[in-house]
Chain A
């Protein structure tokens, strides 16, 4: 989370991207010079099913304003079925987070293939805008973790 001169809120976004599809899609967005906000920072994971719900909670605890998980399209998982696990786990986690007061719009699962650089950029733009509108995440942030 940070503020720039115009007092515009700039959220901090953690994006978990699977190595085979979405991380390559992000690379393709770069190769095609498709701009998206610098607020998005990518963590490379082998598969979307590697994303433990605890990672998402940790990101919110440490002050992330939104978390997005990107994987291969259903049916196209490099490991056959990993993205289905991710989808089920995140559906449960996100509804629990919603119950705890972390708006559903702060969390998202998206399917982006290695060929969808344009989709990656547009998904990230849209997600940053959505989270920016919601403002800072204070619900799960643990201020004891903040380094001053």
Chain B
């Protein structure tokens, strides 16, 4: 005889405002097998959990139904509660009457009726539940960090600090990411390189950290604690172990006119190159598309001048397979392409630049050695117009709906630094809103306006027209004064929206990690689990999860690292006991289940069966490896004889829920 307890939560007024919780408890209490039913203000609180534990002990409950928030929120909490009172965790069912009932319905009668129906379904299911015990699987004590920007670097350093091996996979020839291209950082104006490059060196020197630069993740198998990852190390045609980074090859390379990605095409590099002086690893890379030797077979100069003998034109892509216990995703961001914003004449004039290009133009290591000059004629600009929200907060299909968060601050930084260095230059900033929430941010913005005399104008720029005299005619509106403005500018800077890196989407598919509609990785819970992906063992750091500035990125990377460390210190992980199970007596060995299993968890064995006439028959039957099975249930539907079932979501359980809903 089953003895079920029903616990209805008010969740303050979150549930009780639209659901008559007393009525729900009363009606569910009348269901057969229900021996105890109550409601309480906060079931998840200590007092609430005590109610559950006491009822389990005093009433000898065999199952519990908690009518509360989503199981994604507190299922684990209540399972632990039950376990403490001696009830198997899997004899607890959650009826989601908050997210899927009280929060979406206004009519109290409707919501109450629905809550009762949901509660009945949960009772019907718990009556068929069986106690389950999770299996254990070992943990590979090594972490993978995908992306070698400031987020990846910080995460790797923190994980290595705790004594675990870490591999960083970076697609570019050097680690460092976007921060290497930045001149100064707001609001303190420290030099980005001065705070970043020591961390890059730390990574290179740390014996626990291994950097796979110019590499990509191409395949991910496995699950938390035991991921098998294939890394493609792209051929750089230079032996990393031999190259000393002396640069002799670069000096002699005849292909000098290759647009330099590091300077965003504002200068040129050679076909063999080191992205910048502080690159880690400081190893030359040959651009296979540009190299004469690789494209036509006629050159070979770099190989002749290399005293270390590091050049290897025959190098091939290498594939490395490695096991990991946890993965940190830190793929970062890119500014959006400005092709669709032609009213700003980005494609027509060299003097219309993006903010990142402006960053290079003011960087001491940039193409102009830090002297701000117009890209078209190399003259000093006297009037600069900054346009904010180019593609951000844009509900048309060409831009992004979200706020890119950092543009207000970096534009204020650009404006302030320009005025500080060149007081003769007039600086205008066009904005929709100035958003400066952050420590010292608003003070910084006010300093730009009050102390440095930057002209902030609320309004959007409608059009930029390049004129024959080299000036850029900026047509804009001032929304506060209600007037049309015409400014003759020498330089126009566009604060392009930031978007998730292009590599993120295919990576998410490999990791089976979910993404939002803007291709940013989603977190397991927006508030309580902000650095974890819903997929166990995958952690998020930096702008791959949403627009962020450097301090937030570093903080998130540290948090992700601590989660990874918390996972890697364990020797074994408790697995998910809700796995498939085959009834050997019913299985006819047809292989249907094996074909649909995405994990290869199903194998076949020949087993002896005692037959009715005392003979022994040998039959081929399916067996599920519970350590490999992830519990999707594809096999249960494929099985023609109904032998395969999923623990925790069995056919009978789901049918009972359906019956209860249709009652």
Contact = CB atoms under 8 A, between A and B. Distances in A.
B509 A46 contact: no
Contact of A31 (B103, B110, B598, B646): B103
A64 B596 CA distance: 30
Contact of A58 (B107, B517, B632, B655): B655
B634 A113 contact: no
Contacts of B267: none
A116 B659 CA distance: 28
Contacts of B651: 52, 54
A41 B598 contact: no
B99 A59 contact: no
A105 interface: no
A127 to B, nearest CB: 15
B250 to A, nearest CB: 42
A74 B121 CA distance: 29
A10 B637 CA distance: 31
Interface stretch (B111-119, B233-241, B322-330): B111-119
B254 interface: no
Contacts of A143: none
A50 B634 CA distance: 6
Contacts of A31: 99, 103
B658 A81 contact: no
B509 A20 contact: no
A33 B633 contact: no
Interface in B637-655: 637-638, 646, 649, 651, 654-655
Nearest to B112: A38
Given A36-B104, A41-B118, A45-B649, A50 B636 contact: yes
Nearest to B657: A43
B657 A50 contact: no
Contact of A30 (B71, B100, B638, B658): B100
A53 B636 CA distance: 11
Contact of B100 (A42, A50, A55): A42
Nearest to A75: B509
Nearest to B98: A30
A70 interface: no
A76 to B, nearest CB: 7
A107 B657 CA distance: 19
A58 B660 CA distance: 11
A128 interface: no
Contacts of B99: 26-27, 29-31
A51 interface: yes
B121 A78 contact: no
B630 interface: yes
Interface in B450-482: none
Contacts of A20: 514, 534
Given A41-B117, A43-B121, A43-B661, A82 B634 contact: yes
Contacts of B637: 49-53, 85, 89
B70 interface: yes
Nearest to A80: B598
A147 interface: yes
A119 B512 CA distance: 21
A50 B635 CA distance: 8
Interface residues of A, number: 53
Interface in B503-518: 508-509, 512, 514-517
Interface string A112-136: 0111100001000000000000000
A23 interface: yes
A147 B104 contact: no
Given A82-B598, A82-B634, A24 B100 contact: no
Contacts of A30: 70, 98-101, 103-104
A44 B578 CA distance: 13
A96 interface: no
Interface string B60-72: 0000000000111
B522 interface: yes
A61 to B, nearest CB: 8
B441 to A, nearest CB: 28
Interface string B520-539: 00100000000000110000
B96 interface: yes
Contacts of B516: 113-115
A52 B636 contact: yes
A26 to B, nearest CB: 6
A114 B103 contact: no
Nearest to B73: A27
Contacts of A81: 598, 634
Given A14-B658, A47-B632, A38 B110 contact: yes
B100 A26 contact: yes
B663 A147 contact: yes
B104 A35 contact: yes
A8 B661 CA distance: 20
B548 interface: no
Contacts of A87: none
A102 interface: no
A55 B517 contact: no
Given A79-B634, A85-B596, A113-B517, A62 B662 contact: yes
Interface in B564-601: 578, 596, 598
B512 A29 contact: no
B105 interface: yes
A68 interface: no
B514 A49 contact: no
A74 to B, nearest CB: 11
Given A23-B72, A45-B654, A79-B512, A34 B632 contact: no
Given A27-B99, A30-B104, A49-B633, A78 B535 contact: yes
A64 B98 CA distance: 23
Contacts of B534: 20, 24, 114
B391 interface: no
A36 B633 CA distance: 29
Q: Which of A29, A35, A46, A89 has the most CB of B within 10 A?
A: A46
A105 to B, nearest CB: 19
Going nearest first, the 10 A-B pairs with the smallest beta carbon separation are: A30-B99, A50-B633, A62-B662, A79-B632, A115-B516, A30-B103, A38-B110, A27-B99, A49-B634, A47-B632
Given A41-B118, A115-B515, A147-B663, 11 more contacts: A14-B661, A14-B662, A34-B104, A38-B114, A45-B654, A49-B596, A50-B633, A54-B655, A76-B508, A81-B634, A113-B516
19 contacts: A24-B514, A30-B103, A38-B107, A38-B113, A41-B121, A42-B118, A43-B654, A46-B646, A46-B649, A47-B632, A50-B654, A52-B654, A76-B509, A76-B514, A78-B535, A79-B598, A89-B637, A114-B522, A116-B517
